[in-house]
Structure 1
Amino acid sequence: MTDIALAWNGRDADLVIEDGDLVLDHTLQTPVVISMFSDRRARSDDALPGDQRDRRGWAGDAWPEVEGDKIGSRLWLLSREKEIAETLRRARDYGKEAVTWTLEDGIAARVDVTASVPRRGWLHLDVTIARRDGRIENHQYDTLWESL
C-alpha cells in the first residue's frame, strides 16, 4: 500500500514535500492520520460537545464500498471534555475504533491504542499496529485538546 505522505503537526495534517515533490508513504502513517483525525459521524446516542447539533462525518460514508465502513474517529466529541481518566478511556476507545479497519481488512493482527495527557491541554495518542507480516508500526500523535 502506497499513499501520498501526510505529516501530523498537532493541529492538522499536511502533505510532505521534499525537493519540490510529494513524498510517498509505504507505511500506515497516512491512513492512520486520516483515520484518527478525520471526523467520524457521531452515533445517535453520542452527546455532542457544547451546544453543537452537527453530527459531522464524511459524506462518502453514506455510500461505502463495504457495508458499514466508516472513515475517521469520534475523538472530536471530546473537545469540551475534562482531562480525566474516563475521558482518556473514551479517547483510547475512539482511537481503536478508528483503526479497526486494519484488522478487518487483514492488514493488522493486533492494534493497541493508548491515550495520555503529557501536559495540560494536550492529548497524546500512541497507536501500535502489529501487521500480519510481523512488522510493528508505532505512531505517536500529540494534539491540542481543543483541536479535537
Structure 2
Amino acid sequence: MMVGIGRTTGVTDDAGTTQKLQYKSPFDVRGDTLRMTEFGFSSGLPAGSDVLILSLGGDRSNQVIVATNHGSTRYGNLKPGETVIYDAKGKSVLLGEDKLTVKCAGQDIEVTEAKNATITASVKIRLETPLVESTGDIVDNCDSNKVTLKELREAYNEHGHDVKNVQGGDSTRTSEKTNKEEDAHDLLSGDDIGSSVLISLFSDRRADADDVTDDGDRRGWWGDTGEDILLGSRLWLLARSVLSRAIARKAEMYAEEALAWLVSDGVLSSVIATSRIVWPDKLYLTILLIRPDGNKQEYKFEWLWGDNNAVSATYAQ
C-alpha cells in the first residue's frame, strides 16, 4: 500500500452514494477519487484542503482519501476531551469541557420537523433577546393548568363593571374603575391569602439596580417589565449572606416590601414583619397580617444557615 498527500482543487461530486474529489499532487491531477468518511458525518471540503491518499496495493489508479484538513479554517486550541463540529464560515458546535456552545456566526438557527421539543434545565432558561414570538398559544404551569394566556387575556378584556346612575338621552357615562375591595373578595373571604403570602415571599423579585448579586443575574419575572409593582421578594439576595442582625433587618424589610401590594389593594390594612436570631444558625421571621376588619393572622418562617451560608426556609403557620 502506498501513502500520498495532495490538495483538493474544489471539484467535488457529492451527488451519489459516495463523495468523489479531484486533487492535485506533485505528480499529477486526479479526479473521481473516492473519499471515505465516518457514518453519520459528511462535509464539503474547501478548495485547497490537504488530503491523505491511500493507493491500494500500490496501484495509483485505485485510490481512496481517508483524511482531510483545511489549515486556514481549522478550529484550534481544544482541551483534552473536547470535540467540535465546525465549518469554513465560523459556525461551530463545541462540546466543551464545562458546557456545550453553539456559535452561529451571525446566521440564523432553525430546528425543523420536530413533533415535540423538550428542553430540560434544572435551574432556569434565560432568553437574552428584545422580542419573543409564538405563532401558537402559551400555557404556563402546564402540568396543572390548561388555560392559555390568550384565554386569560380575552376573559379579562370581556369583563365589565356596572355603571351606576345611568341617565337617558344624550348623557355620557364612563365605566367606573375597578373596585379593588370587590375584586379582592376571594382574598378577603377565604384562605387564598395564605397562597398569596407564600408566592409573594418565595418568588424571586427582580433585584434593584444597586443590589449585589453573585453572578449579575437580577432574576425576577419577565412579566414585571415596565411595571411599578413587582412580583415576589428579594429574600433570595440573603442566600449568600453571613447571618447577622443587619441581615435580619433586611429580611423584615424584604418581607414587608413583598407583601405591600396586599395593603395597597385593600386586602390588608397593614403588614408587620419581625425577626429573631437564635445563634449560631437560625433566623425566625414572623409576619403579622392585619385585615381591614381588625382580625389578625400570623405566619412564621425559619431560615437555617449552612456551612456555606446558603439558607433553607421552613414554613409553619
Where on the TM-score scale, by shorter chain, does this alignment land: which range?
0.7 to 0.9
What corresponds to 2:216 in structure 1?
53
Structure with greater helix percent: 1
- Aligned partner (choices 14, 24, 30) of residue 195 of structure 2: 30
Higher CA-based Rg = 2
What corresponds to 2:65 in structure 1?
none
For residues 70 and 129 of structure 1, what CA distance do their matches in structure 2 show? 20
**Matched residue count:** 121
For residues 118 and 142 of structure 1, what CA distance do their matches in structure 2 show? 10
Report Cα offsets for 1:26-51 as digits up to 9, x if no partner.
Answer: 25211000011110000101111xx3
SS at match of 1:54: coil
1:1-148, aligned counterparts within 5 Å?
1=186, 26-48=191-213, 51-62=214-225, 67-118=227-278, 120-145=280-305, 146-147=310-311
Question: How much is the aligned-residue C-alpha RMSD, in angstroms?
Answer: 1.9
Conserved? CA contact 1:36–1:72, under 8 Å: yes
Higher relative contact order (CA 8 A, sep 6+): 1
SS at match of 2:215: coil
For residues 192 and 279 of structure 2, what CA distance do their matches in structure 1 show? 29
Residue identity over aligned pairs, in percent, reads: 37
CA shift, 1:119, in A, is 5.3
Uncovered stretches (5+) of structure 1, i.e. residues with no partner: 3-24
For residues 237 and 295 of structure 2, what CA distance do their matches in structure 1 show? 32
Which consecutive segments of 4 or more residues in structure 1 shift more than 4 A?
none
